[in-house]
Amino acid sequence: MSAVSSPAAYLDATDPLAPFRQEFHIPAGPDGRPCVYFCGNSLGLQPKAARAAVEQEFEAWERLGVEGHFHGTSPWMHYHETLTEASARLVGALPVEVVVMNSLTVNLHLLLVSFYRPTGSRYKILMEGGAFPSDQYAIESQARLHDLDPAEVIVELVPRPGEHTLRTEDITAKIQELGDSLATILIGGVNYYTGQAFDMATITRAGHTVGAYVGFDLAHAAGNLEMHLHDWDVDFACWCSYKYLNSGPGGTSGVFVHEQFANRPDLVRLAGWWGHDPSDRFQMKKGFRPMAGAAGWQLSNAQIFPMAIHRASLDIVDRAGGMAALRRKSERLTEQLETLIRELALPSAQLEIITPADPAQRGCQLSVLVHQRGRELFDFLASQGIIADWREPNVIRLAPVPLYNSFEDVHRVGKALARFFK
């Protein structure tokens, strides 16, 4: 069988997104070949356009100094606005509903200041058990800011006995049970550990039925799932840009605040100069008047260098056809990987996939629970040029990313697993 007639080679040859792989720097494995990089759910690869994007702003700084805020190819005064349209497309929002600023957990705190407003009877926060630690810490500290005991405030959703992921009906049942004691729901769009994608539309409707605000941490969903935050009526959300959005370690963050709050200066928030109405921002007066929409949550000047990388990355997403196109390939890659793992026919007492089998309930990540020799397997994969992610105590996360991973990558992982377990 010729190379092009192999199943993986054929899929790659007929994949309309295959050319985008060439737009990324792919690290070399131990044998000098490009590695199989299945760790985009932790840190995405570097777009080749990133360096030139930052160099352009270095050149502007060198040539213009402070005048770079008002002159040059992309004046810094309005730089964040160049990210608005693409960010809105990314998450299914209106332009007024999104802004890029700060970093993820900073933005989460800023949003919770506005959307967690406990009263004597409505004070509880609902989140998924096993959420990423930053979310847990943020919510704990927000409870303490209101002189509340986190143990009494936070309600954690846990799977049924013997199951690894949450059922939507159990989430909505808990929301109904909490009723008018529930102030805020904050759930990850995709759980970082299991890879489960939550039904955000259903959760939002259920939360609003009992009068709660509903928000999502989209760190593992942005650039991974096709979303419609505006149509789902989500109240608030935030996400990072360094995972599936390939915008560099510690990259800038996105924020969504629904249009219904666009002109609500009465909302309590932590205010900053950059979120003030630009019509008189430079008059330096007391008295904060927020910009309309999500931009009114800004604090400080735009982070130009990380935003330049993010802008280059968002351009790749748009040129690839947006999230609908990426999602189509993502589902095929993940399905191929799941098939190859299941063909190993290993007993569940040895290895099991804990990510839902339903494509609608997962992104491009498969979390594999390895009951025996887990760390040994992870190290073996690394020796074969396969970069995955290890999570204690015994989970290996594998994330085939549609922009730069190939079907041949998936089959290399399948072959490596077969060699290990032979």
The per-residue pLDDT for range 346-403, each reduced to its tens digit, is: 999 999 999 999 999 999 999 999 999 999 999 999 999 999 999 999 999 999 999 9
Contact status, residue 370 vs residue 421, Cβ threshold 8 Å: no
* 98: its two tokens: 């999104």
> What average pLDDT does range 184-205 have in this prediction?
98
Read off the pLDDT of residues 79-109 as tens digits, 9 standing for 90 and up: 999 999 999 999 999 999 999 999 999 999 9
> What average pLDDT does range 238-258 have in this prediction?
98
Burial of 147 (0-12, 13-18, 19+ CB in 10 A): exposed
Q: Which residue spans of the chain are classified as CATH 3.40.640.10?
A: 74-318
3-state secondary structure of 379: helix
pLDDT at 239 over 60: yes
> What average pLDDT does range 187-205 have in this prediction?
98
Check residue 1 and give its pLDDT.
Answer: 42
* Per-residue confidence band for 192, with pLDDT thresholds at 50, 70 and 90: very high
* Per-residue confidence band for 4, with pLDDT thresholds at 50, 70 and 90: low
Best CA proximity match to 362, nearest among 341, 393, 335, 339 = 335
* 303: its two tokens: 């982070």
Q: Which residue spans of the chain are classified as CATH 3.90.1150.10?
A: 3-46+324-421
pLDDT at 151 over 90: yes
* Per-residue confidence band for 232, with pLDDT thresholds at 50, 70 and 90: very high
Say yes or no: domain 74-318 is CATH 3.30.450.90: no
CA 216 – CA 256 distance, rounded (Å): 10
Q: Mean pLDDT lowest for which of 161-170, 280-289, 291-300, 325-334?
A: 280-289
pLDDT at 5 over 80: no
CATH of 3-46+324-421, one of 3.20.19.10, 3.40.50.1370, 3.90.1150.10, 3.40.50.300: 3.90.1150.10
Phi-psi region of 192 (alpha: psi -120 to 50; beta: other; left: phi over 0): alpha
Check residue 6 and give its pLDDT.
Answer: 83
**Predicted structure pTM score:** 0.96
> What average pLDDT does range 403-418 have in this prediction?
98
pLDDT at 51 over 90: yes
3-state secondary structure of 254: strand
HSE-CB of 374 using CA atoms within 13 angstroms:
18
> What average pLDDT does range 262-284 have in this prediction?
93
Check residue 313 and give its pLDDT.
Answer: 98
Write out 395-421 in H/E/C secondary structure: EEEEECCCCCCCHHHHHHHHHHHHHHH
* Per-residue confidence band for 201, with pLDDT thresholds at 50, 70 and 90: very high
User: What value does the mean pLDDT of the chain take?
Assistant: 96
